[in-house]
Structure 1
Amino acid sequence: MTVFQALIGQDAAVAELSRAARAAADVVAQRPVQLGAMTHAWLFTGPAGSGRSVAARALAAAVQCDRAEALMAADPTAAPGCGECLSCRTVRAGSHPDVRSIVPEGLSISVNEMRAVVGMAGRRPSLGRWQVVVIEDADRLTEGAANALLKAIEEPPERTIFLLCAPSTHPDDVVVTIRSRCRVVGLRIPPPAAIAEVLIADGIDPGTASWAAQASQGHVGRARRLARDDQARERREAVLAIPARLTSLNACFEAADHLVKAAEAEAKALTDDLDVTESDELKVALGAGGTGKGATGAARGSAGVLKELEKRQRSRATRLQRDALDRALVDLASFYRDVLLVQAGSPVLAAHPDFARDTATVARSIDQAGALVRLDEVLACRTAIELNVKPKIAIEAMTAALRLP
């Protein structure tokens, strides 16, 4: 299994990245390089679940592949990235010394974090064939971080590749100056059949795999969670039951309260233990509990460091809460899409066939214009939360607008 097989339903992107991997091997071997096949900066775009970070890591593994020369000698059309050698495995595991990843846990990527990574990327490869920087969620770069990255991309070090991932090429996602210096690879939502095949290969029964692939709306990671995690299925069911129940203003406020509290609880469950572990480890590193000379002074100087850690932890919790709310809003948006399909008598397969009764109920209660207005309200709520409107205010405004007549 090559590293590119992890990209589901992305044949055009796989072909382009395979050419780039062959060109990267030619550069290392000092052979003539196919014109335009390789560049030092890439931008992977596409909707959530399309595999942006998977594509970036696949290319990172392919350019580091230990068996590149042997594969290309045996078959000139073959691409590096065997998926079995030490370099391929360590890149995919996130432990390769020459592949650095920025995966933001909080709301943004800071300038200090970017400067540190860019500085290390300017060195020559230590064990691998290239220095590779993978930046997931490049749309979270602060202005200072974007400027630090721009300088590195404008004057790229030799044998260094930058791989950025972002939802789109819109200036709000990636600034134009960076985008214009990157080769853009657009990824599409993989079809449900392709996702179902992957789930079946993972050992999931065909019926569950088919349902999860459709319900995930093209998001491979969420399809896996829905197929395996009872709590994920329960959260989805609770969200999709909301539209048919919004028959009074009180029901709207109750639904909003449920959505926000569920997102807070999900974020808290994911962060509580991690926060305690991080705080304890940092305190020990700063000399907590020490009795030797200087221990008291070290403890006095640790307050600022602990405060910075708490700030990062709050940012991470906020990010996780927003992500949980966003998943719920995507489900609601697809519910109203299903309503429109019912109203139009379309043969297109519904995203949530297990909620056909609720979909039919709402479809009878409102007309097509009403369904479109409600779909717009859900999407507007997503935008408001991205713009830092307090989640409870944004969700309450949305549920009030979704109320059935």
Structure 2
Amino acid sequence: MSVWDALIGQDHVVTELRETLASPGAMTHAWLFTGPPGSGRSVAATAFAAALQCRNEPRGCGECDSCRQVLAGTHPDVTRVTTEKVVIAMEEVRGLIQVAQRAPSAGGWRIILVEDADRMLERTSNVLLKSIEEPPERTIWLLCAPSTEDVIMTIRSRCRHVGLRIPPVEAIANLLATRDGIDEDVARAAARAAQCHVGMARRLATDDAARSRRLTILQLPLNIRSVPDAVIAAARLVDLAKDDAAAATEDRDRIEREKLLRDLGVEDGTTRLPPAVRSRVKQLEEDQKRRATRFQRDVLDRIMVDLLSLYRDVVVTQLGASTALINADLKGDIERIAHGGTLAGSVQRMAAVEDARRRLAANVAPLLAVEAMLVAIRPQA
């Protein structure tokens, strides 16, 4: 099993990266992997990093110690950065620049892999620019972002671009069936509902609660009849995202706090902390709050992507297209919305959802963004 096997439906990317590995003169010091969520851009970057460090031929065997270490995140010459905050801090980037100056100790390359490079503010990206322009001879930067437009021009112009596409439904379904033993029909329905996001498809295929929650969210607009209904529904959605964030981070936050206090020599349960310890605890709490904020926004964004899929199906129905529905289990509701509205109205609702996604990305208060969206997509009298 090679490192490339995890790249589903991206044969063109595998071919390009393999050709580069086979031609040392074609190597570039900075790469930008782009693709929609779930396309596997960070998977591609990780596979490439493993292949670069691989000791066997063909490169990327997946079996040698170097490949295994990179895939496990333990290779000493591969630094992987992924943020759980809203943005990547400037201090983190400065630390990466220092790491990038070191010669590789075990492998052939010093590799810096930055997931979510789009979460760097412009001033932070400018700090990174010089290191990408003039890196040490054996250093390679691998950046990941949804699109080239999400990275400032001075960075993307110095990177070799690798674009990933959305993998086909059948490829995702086959992966779930062969790797996870999921029934083919269930896997296919999950892949379609997840819009070919591999991780989300697996969750929908294996988690009854996740499927039920998604169905509830999709049915929400069907029950909105007035502005007060929209306001109440918006509060429900935001509370749902907050609850998800709390559930996902509560135990981790507690463990991190306990570890910090233990490392600082403070007994658990101490009510009065020394000033030096108090400042460290406050910093940790601020980082945890940023992580919860990002998780909440990610949940809300996924909700909006699901709503977009609903209105996409409505548009497909109104056009009489033969394209398969994403939400086939809601076919009756979709046909009712399609016959009771106009194509222009459906397109306007999709635009309202996209506006809400942009507002969230611009740090608009989640409740205000969701309220405006649901008011806009409610049936008009």
TM over 0.5: yes
Equivalent position SS for 1:82: coil
| Aligned equivalent of 1:259 | 237
| Mapping of residues 126-141 of structure 1, within 5 Å | 126-141=105-120
Instruction: State the number of aligned residues.
Output: 377
| Aligned equivalent of 1:14 | 14
Tell me if the contact between 1:7 and 1:54 (Cα under 8 Å) persists in the aligned partners.
Answer: yes
Structure 1 letter corresponding to 2:315: L
User: 2: distance between equivalents of 1:132 and 1:161?
Assistant: 5
User: 1: distance between equivalents of 2:267 and 2:8?
Assistant: 51
| Aligned equivalent of 1:74 | none
Structure 1 letter corresponding to 2:378: R
| Aligned equivalent of 2:174 | 197
Equivalent position SS for 2:80: strand
User: 2: distance between equivalents of 1:113 and 1:231?
Assistant: 37
| Aligned equivalent of 2:349 | 374
| Aligned equivalent of 1:349 | 324
Q: Does 1:250 align with 2:225?
A: no
| Aligned equivalent of 2:311 | 336
Deviations 1:245-284 (CA, angstroms, capped at 9, x unpaired): 1223332222212211111110000011111111111111
Q: Does 1:56 align with 2:25?
A: no
Q: Does 1:177 align with 2:166?
A: no
Aligned match of 1:364 in 331, 339, 342?
A: 339
Structure 2 letter corresponding to 1:358: D
Tell me if the contact between 1:121 and 1:132 (Cα under 8 Å) persists in the aligned partners.
Answer: yes
What's the offset of the Cα at 1:289?
A: 2.8
User: 1: distance between equivalents of 2:11 and 2:304?
Assistant: 30
Q: Does 1:108 align with 2:87?
A: yes
TM-score normalised to the size of structure 2? Answer: 0.96
| Aligned equivalent of 1:167 | 146
Tell me if the contact between 1:213 and 1:220 (Cα under 8 Å) persists in the aligned partners.
Answer: yes
| Aligned equivalent of 1:29 | none
Q: Does 1:223 align with 2:201?
A: yes
User: 1: distance between equivalents of 2:316 and 2:123?
Assistant: 45
What's the offset of the Cα at 1:307?
A: 1.3
Instruction: Tell me whether 361-370 or 140-149 shows the greater mean CA deviation.
Output: 140-149
Q: Does 1:401 align with 2:376?
A: yes
User: 1: distance between equivalents of 2:66 and 2:123?
Assistant: 33
Equivalent position SS for 1:129: coil
Equivalent position SS for 2:166: coil
Alpha-carbon RMSD across the aligned residues, in angstroms, is: 1.6
Equivalent position SS for 1:100: strand
What's the offset of the Cα at 1:10?
A: 1.0
Tell me if the contact between 1:286 and 1:298 (Cα under 8 Å) persists in the aligned partners.
Answer: no
Deviations 1:146-201 (CA, angstroms, capped at 9, x unpaired): 1232111111111111000011111xx21111111000111110010110110011
What's the offset of the Cα at 1:298?
A: 9.0
Q: Does 1:391 align with 2:371?
A: no
User: 1: distance between equivalents of 2:378 and 2:91?
Assistant: 46
Structure 1 letter corresponding to 2:364: V
What's the offset of the Cα at 1:108?
A: 0.8
Instruction: Tell me whether 195-204 or 230-239 shows the greater mean CA deviation.
Output: 230-239
Tell me if the contact between 2:122 and 2:152 (Cα under 8 Å) persists in the aligned partners.
Answer: no
| Aligned equivalent of 2:265 | 287
Structure 2 letter corresponding to 1:143: E
Equivalent position SS for 2:142: strand
Structure 2 letter corresponding to 1:254: I
Structure 1: 5+ residue stretches without partners: 27-32, 72-78, 291-296
Structure 2 letter corresponding to 1:384: R
What's the offset of the Cα at 1:333?
A: 0.6
| Aligned equivalent of 2:34 | 45
Instruction: Tell me whether 217-226 or 300-309 shows the greater mean CA deviation.
Output: 300-309
Structure 2: 5+ residue stretches without partners: none
| Aligned equivalent of 2:126 | 147
Aligned match of 2:247 in 269, 290, 294?
A: 269
Structure 2 letter corresponding to 1:38: M
What's the offset of the Cα at 1:231?
A: 2.3
| Aligned equivalent of 2:300 | 325
Tell me if the contact between 1:287 and 1:298 (Cα under 8 Å) persists in the aligned partners.
Answer: no
Deviations 1:226-246 (CA, angstroms, capped at 9, x unpaired): 111222212211111112212
Structure 1 letter corresponding to 2:48: L
What's the offset of the Cα at 1:145?
A: 2.7
Aligned match of 1:311 in 269, 286, 294?
A: 286
TM-score normalised to the size of structure 1? Answer: 0.90
User: 2: distance between equivalents of 1:317 and 1:298?
Assistant: 24
Tell me if the contact between 1:244 and 1:361 (Cα under 8 Å) persists in the aligned partners.
Answer: no
Tell me if the contact between 1:110 and 1:144 (Cα under 8 Å) persists in the aligned partners.
Answer: no
User: 2: distance between equivalents of 1:274 and 1:45?
Assistant: 30
User: 2: distance between equivalents of 1:156 and 1:193?
Assistant: 41
